[in-house]
Structure 1
Amino acid sequence: MLRNGQYVLGVGNRINSFSIVVDPKEKMTTETKSVMRESCSMIIYKIGDLPLYLAVGWKIPAIGGGRNKTFVFVRRENDLEIPDNNL
C-alpha cells in the first residue's frame, strides 16, 4: 500500500525506491523481491498534476504453480476505492 510517498511491505519483502508521481510521457519500471512462497503487491502512483491515480497490482504464485494475475486501474482522486476481488 502506498500513501503520501510511503510504502508498507510484508515481512521479508523488499522493493526498490520509486517516485510517487508518474510523468505520463516517461517509461518507468520498479522491481520487487519476496522471500515468501508467492508475491502479491500493489503500487499506486499520482499521475503528474492531474487529479488521477494509477494503481498497478500483481500476484505471482510459487515456482511451477498457477498463473500470474495482474490489474491496472486509473481512478480520480475522489474515487480511490479499488475492488479487492481482482487478485
Structure 2
Amino acid sequence: MANHKSALKRVRQTKVRTERNRQRKSTIKTLRKETLAAAEAGDAKAAAESLSKFSSAVDKAAKKGMIHKNKAANLKSRAAKSVASVG
C-alpha cells in the first residue's frame, strides 16, 4: 500500500474515477442495446431518439478520454446504420 500522502490521494482519485467510468460505460452499453432493440422492432421514431441519446453519451465519453475517438465513431456508425435500415 502507498505510504506518501500524495500516493494515498492518487489511490482515492483512481477509485472514484474507475467507478465513474464504470457507470458511464454501463450507460453507453444500455443506450446501445435500447437503440438496436428499437431498430429491430421497427420503431423508427424511438430508434432515432435513442440514437441521439446514444451518440451524445458516446461523444462525451470520447471527449473525456474514456474511449478512443475512433471507437466512438465506429459505435455511432454501426448504430446509425441499423437505425437507417428501419427508415
Structure with higher helix content:
2
TM-score calculated relative to the size of structure 2: 0.23
The structure with higher relative contact order (CA 8 Å, sep 6+) is 2
Structure with higher strand content:
1
TM-score calculated relative to the size of structure 1: 0.23
When Rg is computed on C-alpha atoms for both structures, the one with the higher figure is 2
